[in-house]
Amino acid sequence: MFCSPISVGEGQVLPALTGKVAIVTGGASGLGLEIGRTFVAEGAVVVSTDINADAGAAAAESCGAEFLSHDVAVEEDWVAVFAQVMARHGCVDILVNNAGIGEGLGAATPDETRWEDWQRVLNVNAGGVFLGCKHALVNMRGNGGAIVNMSSVAALVATPFLTAYGASKAAVLQLTRSIAVYAAKENIRCNSVHPGQIETPMLQGLFRDVAHSNRVSETDVRTEFLQRIPQGVFGTGADIAAAVVFLASDAAKHITGAQLSVDGGMSAHP
Ligand SMILES: NC(=O)c1ccc[n+]([C@@H]2O[C@H](COP(=O)([O-])OP(=O)(O)OC[C@H]3O[C@@H](n4cnc5c(N)ncnc54)[C@H](O)[C@@H]3O)[C@@H](O)[C@H]2O)c1
């Protein structure tokens, strides 16, 4: 069991998350899998969770994490996840609210967005992060901790083609600031990470959807998306994981309520 300071010999440098117990949601795929793998390499005990139990268990095994089945939009699941992690490890130092969904097939302009799509996307992307933060506060109280919420560049620029998704990620940004201020005196930090376009199954799905809606090739869509990134390259899971490790680590002990863009310059572009 960790959760207490690890003693270090003089001059010895430990990995950034040594001694930390972390929950990472959406760990079966993409960014969550990369974050879980990087956290393990940085010395954390990682409990990875996902709604997709088969893929989640396999992913966790591949990177040395534990796995729990979990729908982030169901409050009872959060109660069960925290109870199991507390029982096994005695505390939770880090929560990474990473799980999220895209808009699904087809275009998603304000005209085209159906009420049920809006509710589904907001429920998982904003509601799931709210529930995670709410239960993290209860379980981190007394011990302190760090919450990292996965938002998006879509919270920082207008997204008229991803209406509900952009709104859900803006909700995550504002929720992050509220949690940060609310819990600051309790040594519970809360920050958001804003990826731009990162090569994961979610982005590949977006290429397929946009190509399908506009009747163009996926290659054309990729080329057009690349032109919107000032650095001219897609980000990688490792780029995002590095930012999450930093915000979750004690190196960021004076950082709370912040937004860290990892987007090749997208959000800085007019
Ligand atoms: N890939 C990008 O370019 C990009 C950009 C900005 C933000 N993001 C955000 O990063 C996060 C991870 O995205 P990704 O690209 O790795 O996507 P992904 O689709 O590869 O992985 C998302 C994971 O979340 C899980 N999940 C979905 N709904 C869930 C639920 N209700 N409960 C628990 N788990 C659930 C999925 O099963 C999947 O394993 C998301 O919040 C996404 O919005 C991604």
d(CA 36, CA 29): 10
In a domain, 25, yes or no: yes
Two tokens at 168? 């859900």
In a domain, 1, yes or no: no
Please give the distance, rounded to the nearest whole angstrom, from the Cα atom of residue 121 to the centre of ligand 1: 11
In a domain, 28, yes or no: yes
User: Which atom number of ligand 1 is nearest to the Cα of residue 153?
Assistant: 6
In a domain, 2, yes or no: no
In a domain, 63, yes or no: yes
pLDDT digit string, tens, across residues 213-236 = 889 999 999 999 999 999 999 999
pLDDT greater than 80 at residue 105: no
In a domain, 40, yes or no: yes
pLDDT reported for residue 1: 45
Domain containing residue 148: 21-264
**Does 132 sit in the ligand 1 pocket, CB within 6 Å?**
no
Task: Calculate the dihedral angle through the C-alpha atoms of 234, 71, 27, 169, rounding to the nearest 10 degrees.
Answer: 30
pLDDT greater than 60 at residue 95: yes
Residues catalogued as catalytic: 165
Please give the distance, rounded to the nearest whole angstrom, from the Cα atom of residue 159 to the centre of ligand 1: 18
pLDDT digit string, tens, across residues 27-86 = 999 999 999 999 999 999 999 999 999 999 999 999 999 999 999 999 999 999 999 999
pLDDT greater than 50 at residue 155: yes
**Does 29 sit in the ligand 1 pocket, CB within 6 Å?**
yes
pLDDT greater than 60 at residue 2: no
pLDDT reported for residue 30: 96
In a domain, 198, yes or no: yes
Number of domains into which the chain is organized: 1
pLDDT reported for residue 67: 98
Confidence grade of residue 4 (pLDDT, cut at 50, 70, 90)? low
In a domain, 38, yes or no: yes
CATH of the domain at 197: 3.40.50.720
